[in-house]
Amino acid sequence: MASPEWWAEHPISELEQKTEYWLGQSGRITHPMMVREGETHYRPITWDEAFATIAEHVNATTADRCTFYTSGRTPNETAFMYQLLARSLGTNNLPDCSNMCHESSGTALNPTIGIGKGTVSLEDLECAELIFVVGQNPGTNHPRMLSSLSACRRNGGKVIAVNPLPEAGLMRFKDPQTPSGLFGDGDQISDEFLQIKVGGDQA
């Protein structure tokens, strides 16, 4: 875990040189952390200080300049409360992964196929003969796709994954909705995994 002691051992100048993988392996942040201009290390603050700082910045601006971003993994109940907060402050700027994370996809798809969103359904994937999963991890980005990839392989299709890291979700999938997922080793996802150098997926 990235505890206050961990942050005290790692100056910002050192963290800037670390890979995203290394940072991710360091674990979750255990306390609210802050760095002020000129400081070399993040330092822990209390939750009261954290919320007071957020309130200070929100009150210092206008509603139309505020954006409340939500994660695609946020439960519906939490997202509902979050949007109530945003609307109580007078804004409906509530982007989430459906438009922010896929902005690059839409930008590329529009000039390529004429529309900025996907043209297939999950059911289409289940009947495909060959699927390439390139530069992303369905287990994190859109877990529902794992069921469709498993169904594709059961129906005789093949899945080829291309990614810098052998993500667990690209290797095997234990579907909690099936007996084999609960008690077995799960389903193999990738027929073949092609590992490229880190950063190669941006080429």
Q: Is the dihedral of CA 101, 160, 140, 12 positive or negative?
A: negative
What is the residue type of 147?
Answer: S
Boundary-marking domain end, from 60, 78, 95:
60
Boundary-marking domain end, from 14, 31, 60:
60
The confidence score (pLDDT) of residue 33 equals 96
Q: Is the dihedral of CA 147, 150, 155, 156 positive or negative?
A: positive
Boundary-marking domain end, from 15, 43, 60:
60
Same domain assignment for residues 51 and 125? no
H/E segment holding residue 44: strand 43-44
Report the domain count for the chain: 2
Q: Is residue 114 part of a domain?
A: no
The confidence score (pLDDT) of residue 15 equals 94
The confidence score (pLDDT) of residue 203 equals 61
The confidence score (pLDDT) of residue 100 equals 67
Cα distances (angstroms) measured from residue 73 to each of 70, 78, 139, 143: 8, 10, 11, 10
The confidence score (pLDDT) of residue 7 equals 96
The token duo for 66 is 């505020």
Same domain assignment for residues 124 and 56? no
Q: Is residue 67 part of a domain?
A: no
The confidence score (pLDDT) of residue 13 equals 95
Cα distances (angstroms) measured from residue 179 to each of 126, 138, 145, 161: 20, 21, 19, 26
H-type alpha helices, the chain = 4-9, 12-15, 20-25, 47-59, 76-88, 103-113, 122-126, 138-141, 144-154, 168-171, 179-183
Q: Would you give per-residue pLDDT tens digits along the chain (203 residues)? A: 999 999 999 999 999 999 888 998 999 999 999 999 999 999 999 999 999 999 999 999 999 999 998 877 788 899 899 999 999 999 989 887 767 667 777 788 888 888 877 788 888 999 999 999 887 778 777 778 888 898 999 999 999 998 888 887 778 877 777 776 677 777 788 999 998 887 766 66
Is the separation of the CB atoms in 116 and 109 below 8 Å?
A: yes
Q: Is residue 128 part of a domain?
A: yes
Residue range of the domain that includes 45: 1-60
Give me the phi and psi of 30, to 5 degrees please: -95, -20
**CATH number, domain with residue 162:** 3.40.228.10
